[in-house]
Amino acid sequence: MAVKKSSAVADYTKHAGSPSTRAVRWLHHLITSALVLVANFTLIPAIELHGLLFSLLADVALWPTLQLLQRTPVYPWLVDFCVRHRGWFLAFTMVPLSFAHEQYSRLRNWYHGAFLATPHLHDARVHQVQQQVWAWNQAGRKRPMVTARAPWLSVSVRVESYKDTCDKIRVNLSNILEVDTERMTVRCEPLVNMGQMTRHLIPMGYSLAVMIEMDDLTVGGLFMGVGVEVSSHIYGFLSETVHACEVVLGDGTLVRCSREENTDLFHALPWSHGTLGFLVAVELSIVRIKPYVHMKYIPCYSQDELLDKLTVLTHSSTPPPLIETTVYSKDTAVIFTGDFSDGPPADQAHRINDVSRWWKPWFYKHVESFLDRGPGEDWIPLRPYFHRHTRSIFWELREVIPISTHWWYRYVFGWMGPPKIAFIKLSSAPAIREASVFKHVVQDVVVPLRDLKDTIDLFHGAFEVYPLLLYPVRIYKQPDGLQGVLREPSHLRTEPTTGRSYEMYIDLGAYGVPPKLKRKEPWDAIKEVRRMEKFTRRRRGYQLLYADCFMTRAEFEEMFDHSLYRQCRRKYKAIGAFPEIYDKIKSKYCPASMTE
């Protein structure tokens, strides 16, 4: 896999492209304008007429029928049937549609990048966001603002949508603006996703310092929410690799913040989930890479062995650049480390393992094999490594499409890739989504590494779902008064090269259907998740907020420090302009107060 050499600075903001590119762009906009004109006078009236007729039919027949059905004994059985056998529907519909969408997206992204990408117009697009915010202020600030991005496009698994009660602002910013290989940074807009980033940076010989696995996750979501990956034991969360960002505030003001400028806002933005302003640009660290990742697999057969080996690896003065662990039972796990490599020696070429090939076993099954085989190694091409869990959506595909566990599935459907998470959400009726809350676990917690054994025991007792995903991650001590929502770690170590203090934590994730439900035994989702949340608070840990959160507001503020966050909401005019974090992430099933 050849890596192209990059220039010292690849700056895309200073030109609009070649004359041919500008000509194609002009023709594209001309055709688009003509189509819009035709649509306004023909298609839109026709669509509105059909919509009116459908609404009439729905009001007269469909909704009354559905309401009657919900009152019958058949309805719970019907919902249960749809949940149980939904995999076949997804395999025959969402998988082909996802494949078609992926091919369309690749073609569209190539066309957009070659002819329509306009990073040089970034300032104009930001101004459009500001204009919408100014208009919202002039209209009386009646409801909080959120982005207009459809909820089903996010990777969050929460059922409810807070956007229904908010005013939506279009933030269509999805360009990579500049790659500076002298400062080792990339500047981009917030809707740039990880798939775009790897396709853009890898041919240049670079990647993000914290390169997140899933293609559809966006830079903005990972910075304003949380991003953790295989290099987080060195760099921390993705937000730690951000050099600077630009934010449109609640009054329409554009501000730049960094560790030197508007530092309070800069440190308050991570985990704020878009409740302090609209992110419009981010500047992140990049690192040099090589064409392959040299993988080493280390099986562990007890919790003590796992903790000891992770402690040695993560606290080493020269830790492996990449560390991940998959926990397969209460007492067994495989640690796998990676180092960037030019490839195996000539006599080891057969050990190149392109895990993205559709006919190969899923990556987590490949890793599991080392529990029987003992320690081993291989070389994985770089981009397949970065997206090693994509084919199986970690191991969730086996729950979403149960037939995917059979070998024949890979030959019939596997070559098309997995269904897109957005399509899965879009195809889920509200009743099915709500039923999945109580019949499925998707939870991540971040706790100190020293609490690894107790956390695995808790997950085993509460969920008994395996495998578990485990990433070591540093949480750094920030300057006084700027710790953000994460509280200052209590067992600090010092990074010798930078002098920064940190504590090593782990991100432990559980995804799947609890075996108790498969055995037809009772399992209380809210009770067990609240048990996990209580444990996490007591260990000074944190719950990742893309999943269902059943904490009360008081419990939530016990877990997350709101001091700096509240100061910034007052100072930067976010009160009334944006919802609070809790109001965006709370579950509809969490009452205002709840006794232990």
Which among 213, 222, 240 is positioned nearest to 474, based on CA atoms? 240
Instruction: Give the pairing of strands 9-11 and 176-180.
Output: antiparallel
Return the bridge partners of 183, or none: none
Q: Containing H/E element for 527?
A: helix 525-538
Going by their DSSP bridges, the two strands 167-169 and 145-147 should be labelled as parallel
Per-residue pLDDT 10s for the chain (596 aa) are 333 334 444 444 444 566 777 677 667 667 766 766 676 667 667 666 766 676 676 667 666 776 777 778 877 777 667 666 777 777 877 888 888 877 877 777 777 666 666 677 788 889 999 999 999 999 988 899 988 887 666 666 665 567 778 888 899 888 888 899 999 999 999 999 888 898 889 999 999 999 988 878 899 999 999 899 999 999 999 999 999 999 999 999 999 999 999 999 999 999 999 999 999 999 999 999 999 999 999 999 999 999 999 999 999 989 999 999 999 999 999 999 999 999 999 888 889 999 888 888 899 999 999 999 999 999 999 989 988 888 888 888 887 788 888 888 888 888 887 887 777 766 665 656 666 667 788 899 999 999 999 999 999 999 999 999 999 999 999 999 899 999 999 888 888 888 889 999 999 999 988 999 888 888 888 899 999 999 999 999 999 988 888 999 999 999 999 999 999 999 999 999 999 999 888 877 775 544 44
Please tell me the distance from the alpha carbon of residue 97 to that of residue 146, in angstroms, as a whole number: 29
Contact 340, 209 (CB under 8 A): no
Residues near 321 by Cβ (< 8 Å), separated by ≥ 6?
Answer: 231, 234, 338, 339, 340
Closest by CA to 192, choosing from 210, 180, 177, is 177
- Domain residue spans in the chain? 37-118, 119-289+428-595
CATH 3.40.50.300 fits 119-289+428-595, yes or no: no
- DSSP labels for 263-277? HHHHHHSTT-TTSS-
**3: helix, coil or strand?**
coil
DSSP code string of 178-225: EEETTTTEEEE-TT-BHHHHHHHHGGGTEEESS--S-TT-BHHHHHHS
Q: What is the DSSP string of 56-109?
A: HHIIIIIHHHHHHHHTSTHHHHHHHHHHHTHHHHIIIIIHHHHHHHHHHHHHHH
Q: Please answer whether residues 528 and 463 qualify as being in contact, where contact means their C-beta atoms are separated by less than 8 angstroms.
A: yes
Element (H, E) at 258: strand 254-258
pLDDT at residue 12 in the model: 40
Handedness of CA 488, 489, 493, 497 (dihedral sign): negative
pTM: 0.83
Q: Return the pLDDT at 4.
A: 36
Task: Please state, in angstroms and rounded to a whole number, the distance separating the CA atoms of residues 297 and 353.
Answer: 13
Looking at the DSSP bridge assignments, the partners of residue 285 are 185
Res 587: pLDDT:
78
Q: Pick from 466, 435, 577: which is nearest to 136 by CA?
A: 577
| DSSP category for residue 317 | S
Q: How far apart are CA 579 and CA 3, in angstroms?
A: 45
Judge contact between 358 and 410, C-beta under 8 A: yes
Which SS3 state, helix, strand or coil, does residue 36 take? Answer: helix
- Residue 377 buriedness (CB in 10 A; 0-12 / 13-18 / 19+): middle
The H-or-E segment that residue 462 falls in is: helix 452-462
Asked whether 406 and 87 are in contact (CB, 8 A), the reply is: no
For tokens 């985990």, name the residue: 271
Q: Is the peptide bond before 467 cis (omega within 30 degrees of 0)?
A: yes
Position of tokens 């897109």? 420
Distance of CA 299 to the CA centre of its chain: 28
Strands (E) across 332-396 are located at 333-341, 376-381
Structure tokens at 547: 């999943």
- Please tell me the predicted confidence (pLDDT) of residue 2: 33
> What CA–CA distance (Å, rounded) separates 145 from 142?
9
DSSP character for 347?
Answer: G
Tokens standing for residue 440: 């499925």
Helix (H, G, I), strand (E, B) or coil at 137: helix
Check residue 437 and give its pLDDT: 67
Reduced to 3 states, what is the DSSP secondary structure of residue 410? helix
Describe the crossing of helices 525-538 and 430-439 by its angle, rounded to 10 degrees: 60
